[in-house]
Amino acid sequence: MTLFTDTFLIALLAGVVAAGVPLLLAGLGEQLSEKAGVLNVGIEGMMLGGAYLGFYVAWASESTGLGFLAGALGGMTVAALMVLFCVRLGLNQIVIGIALTLGAEGATALLHHVQFSRLYPRLPEVATWRIPGLAEIPIVGPALFDREPVVYLALGLVPAFVWLYRRTHLGLAIQAAGDKPAALDSAGESVLAIRALSVLGCGALVGLGGAFMSIAAAGVFVPFMTHGNGFIGIVLAMLARGRPLWVLLGAALFGACLSAATALQVAGVDIPTDVVQMLPFAAVMAVLLIAGRNAKLPAALGAAYVRGER
Amino acid sequence: MSETTSDIGDGRAAPAFARREIWGVLAMSLGPVLAAFVLSGLILLLMQVNPFSYYGYVFGRGLFSPTGVQATLTRMGPLLLLAASLIVAFRAGIWNLGGDAQFLVGAVFAAAWTPLMVAHVPVWGALLAGMAVSAGFGALWGLVPAFLRAYQGLNEIITTLMMNFLGLSLASVLVKLVFLDPATTVPQTRTLPVEDRLPTLGGTTISSGLLIGLVAVLAVHFVMTRTAFGLRLRVVGANAGAAVHAGLAVPALTVAVFAISAGFAGLSGGVAILGQYGNVRADWNPAYAMSVVPLVFLARFNGFAAIGFVALFSILSIGSESAARRMGVPNYFTLVTVAILLIVLGLAEYWGARRRQKAGV
């Protein structure tokens, strides 16, 4: 088989990372928000906000570091609207989530039209951090250990979140805000503050994922470029049942299939990419049909918290 | 959802109260619409476009030009069927967000079989069979999330979203590999000849899909508000626990809701193909269902209001498509308008609830 050359395998594995990192960040963000009781359907919009603002700042300042920071900020900007409408005012989370997704899709496409429709600037490749020693491993090394800093950050967030949820007071408060907000309130913590913090954190993570897509993976901003990645993030968070490690596994699985689709095309294998793209979803649906039991969702997910209400 | 609970009991309200209610509903719906137009007008000003001439042009093209209004009314047909699909599901408390895949699966199977059938049976028979096929396959696609929700308690938001991705890929695989028209090089299904499509309405180019859509929305509205079956569904939606205690077969009702909802979505795809497009091209996805979700929310799950909002959306989308070419405002602008509309509507509802609370009602 000429297909499995070293370069092909490196490209495939590197593609898994490139496709998986935005999914991982989106899934971790959605998980954080859901744990606190906010079903965040707007993450597709937050991702686009991050992708646009990140790209714009990286282009204007010629600094990718600032770009990633701005990406997180862009996601938080959209998330701040979610906090205002869903946490503070208690409006329906699904309606506002869809509104924010539509609004961010339209707004970023319009901004792109106004600013870049004539220029189509492309960013230079992002500098990578080479981890000495590990990067020397054949195939795995160049694909995994010679990457953009955001990749390491995203991977490092997984154990950080495990620690946060299992070992810290804040993690307990976040989960209480989703399971029994009234108990958290009577323990003297502010439900609204915890939820607001979680949604903003979700926005920052998801925005960073979007910025990774525009700055590192693509090098350009294209309208609607997140292409359902946010929705896959929702799926990952729900499948993971509250475990950050499972989000990582899911992101790797979905990222592998997304990247295999392009890699096979490049290698000239004549399978429609749609078939490969169906695989992760088909696999997950099959598992659910055979072994599906109640998805353990937080009890107060999707419900606004109003003080003093039953 | 507070709407679903509050209108369970108002089926037989006193006429005077009902009239005040209608005015209240109108004010609550039209106020946000006006506010949203003002806000999106401000955005147009920022883009250095005169909002009056933009909206003048959009409504001129979408509503007041003969070709425009016919295109608008034709587009309304599939959108109304999707509205019917979503009203059934949302009123029963089921978040069917997989309408796009159900639409496409219905469209692909109708497009594959109707041109073949047309050669052997009378046209009306082939068209009816094509619509039945689209509704049937749409419903079939909705059954997986239905069973997972009904018997394994899996959240339908996640499963319908996943079936969406799966369905979009499946539709293009079917078009590229199975139902390919051997006569063309472009990947698309066989084309239904124009004279064999759904009849147009008296001398115009408006597809009779419009009538099918109107009938579906009104039928759904009637069933959900005036029949025992509709009441059962609304009870399940308002409080599934109470429904179990009242002796309702909640799992069976859940499956029924999914079948009806996904069936309408599939039929919508069939009507779009049989009435308007004639074939399905590879990777075609108009994403109508995701656009109709906010409209149904704006209409507060009311069939009559849904017709109004679908009409407004069709005018805006047809008008903004030509405005994109003429005035340099991309048609993404409609997305921004709809988003602002949703948020303003949410705020109006919030303030309304606050006012009622203060008045002590």
Residue of B nearest to A104 (CA): B336
Q: Which residue of B297, B336, B347 to mutate against A (max A Cβ within 10 Å)? A: B336
Set of chain A residues whose Cβ sits within 8 Å of the Cβ of B47: 110, 114
Percent of chain B with pLDDT over 70: 94
Neighbours of B293 (CB within 10 A): 24
Q: What's the confidence (pLDDT) of residue B104?
A: 96
**Alpha helix stretches (DSSP H) within B92-208:** 99-118, 123-152, 156-173
Confidence (pLDDT) at B158: 80
pLDDT > 60? residue B302: yes
- Please tell me if residue A169 touches chain B, with a CB cutoff of 8 Å: no
Mean pLDDT of chain B: 87
- State the best of B39, B94, B163, B165 to mutate against chain A, taking most chain A CBs within 10 Å: B165
DSSP B11: G
Q: In A, which residues are within 8 Å of B172 by CB distance?
A: 272, 274
Cβ burial, residue B119 (10 Å; 0-12/13-18/19+):
exposed
**Looking at CA atoms only, how far is residue A178 from chain B in angstroms?**
16
Contacts of residue A120, Cβ cutoff 8 Å, sequence gap at least 6: A220
Region B174-195 average pLDDT: 86
Chain A residues in contact with B165 (beta carbon < 8 A):
228, 231-232, 277-278, 281
How does DSSP assign A5-66, residue by residue?
-HHHHHHHHHHHHHHHHHHHHHHHHHHHHHHTT---TTHHHHHHHHHHHHHHHHHHH--HHH
Task: Provide mean pLDDT across the span B165-187.
Answer: 87
Cα distance between residue B262 and residue B94, in whole Å: 12
Question: Nearest by CB to B158, which of A94, A103, A234?
Answer: A234
d(CA A53, CA A70): 6
- Chain B residues with beta carbon closer than 8 angstroms to that of A238: 155, 157-158
Partner-chain contact A113 B342, CB within 8 Å: no
Out of A114, A231, A272, closest to residue B173 by CB = A272
Query: Is residue B268 a contact partner of residue B106, using CB atoms and an 8 Å limit?
Result: yes
The alpha carbon of residue A297 is apart from the nearest alpha carbon of chain B, in Å, by: 9
- The rounded distance, in Å, linking the Cα atoms of A94 and A128 is 39
Q: In 3D, which of B33, B28, B75, B76 has the Cα closest to residue B55?
A: B33
Q: Domains in chain A: how many in total?
A: 1
The parts of chain A modelled with pLDDT lower than 70 are 1-4, 270, 291-296, 310
Is A114 an interface residue toward B (CB < 8 Å)? yes
Structure-block tokens of residue B310: 């679908």
Q: Which helix (H) or strand (E) holds A129?
A: strand A129-130
Percent of chain B with pLDDT over 90: 44
Q: How high is the pLDDT of residue A296?
A: 65
Q: Cα Rg for chain A, rounded, in angstroms?
A: 20
Report which of residues A75 and B356 the model is more confident about. A75
Return the CATH number at A198: 1.10.3470.10
Cβ atoms of residues B301 and B90 within 8 Å = yes
DSSP letter for each residue of B131-153? HHHHHHHHHHHHHHHHHHHHHH-
Q: How confident is the model at residue B5 (pLDDT cuts 50, 70, 90)?
A: very low
Three-class DSSP labels, B70-93: HHHHHHHHHHHHHHHHHHHHHHCC
Please name the residue that has the structure tokens 């047809």: B318
CB pairs under 8 A between A and B: 137
CA geometry: angle at B281 spanning A262 and B322, to 5°? 105
Is there a contact between B112 and B314 (Cβ–Cβ < 8 Å)? no
Of A46-50, A260-264, B1-5, B241-245, the one with minimum mean pLDDT is: B1-5
β-sheet bridge partners, residue B189: B180
Query: Which pTM value belongs to this model?
Result: 0.86
Q: What is the pLDDT of residue B259?
A: 96
Q: Closest-CA residue in chain A for B292?
A: A98
Mean pLDDT of all residues in B131-153: 92
CA–CA distances in Å: residue A27 to residues A2, A15, A30, A70, A212:
36, 18, 5, 20, 14
Rounded distance, CA B126 to CA A81, Å? 50
- The per-type count for chain B, helices as H runs and strands as E runs, is 14, 0
Give the per-residue pLDDT at B18: 66
Locate all alpha helices (DSSP H) within chain A, ordered by sequence. 6-35, 43-61, 64-82, 93-116, 140-144, 149-167, 169-179, 181-186, 191-211, 229-239, 244-266, 273-291
Is residue A203 in a domain?
A: yes
Q: How many Å is the Cα radius of gyration of chain B?
A: 21
What pLDDT sits at residue B3? 41
- Return the closest-CA partner of residue B145 out of B266, B268, B236, B258: B258
Print the domain residue range for A65: 6-291
The CA distance from B39 to B244, in Å, is 45
* Phi, psi torsion values for A142, nearest 5 degrees: -65, -30
pLDDT tens column, B218-232: 999 999 999 999 999
Among A residues 287-306, those touching chain B with beta carbons less than 8 Å apart = 288-289, 292-295, 297
Q: Which residue of A has its CA nearest to B334?
A: A106
Nearest to residue B162, comparing CAs of A248, A23, A275, A285?
Answer: A285
- Looking at residue A49, what is its pLDDT? 96
Element (H, E) at A190: none
Please give the single-letter amino acid code of residue A179: D
Q: To 5 degrees, how large is the angle CA B49–CA B52–CA B54?
A: 55
Q: Which residue did the predictor score with more confidence, B86 or B201? A: B86
- 8 Å CB contact between A217 and A89: no
- pLDDT per residue as tens digits for the range B25-69: 677 767 888 899 999 999 999 888 899 999 999 999 989 999 999
B243, B235 contact by CB (below 8 A): yes
Task: Give CA B261 to chain center in angstroms.
Answer: 10
| B202 SS3 class | coil
Q: Which residues of B273-284 are buried (b: 16+ CB within 10 A; e: fewer)?
A: bbbbbbbbebeb
How many Å is the maximal CA-CA distance in chain B? Answer: 70
CB atoms within 10 A of CB A282: 17
Give per-residue pLDDT as tens, B251-279: 999 999 999 999 999 999 999 999 989 89
pLDDT at B6: 41
Q: Which residue has the tokens 């749609």?
A: A274
- If we measure between CA atoms, which residue out of B289, B286, B303, B161 comes closest to residue B220? B303
| Backbone torsions φ then ψ of B200, nearest 5 degrees | -85, 160
B121 φ, ψ (degrees, to nearest 5): -125, 165
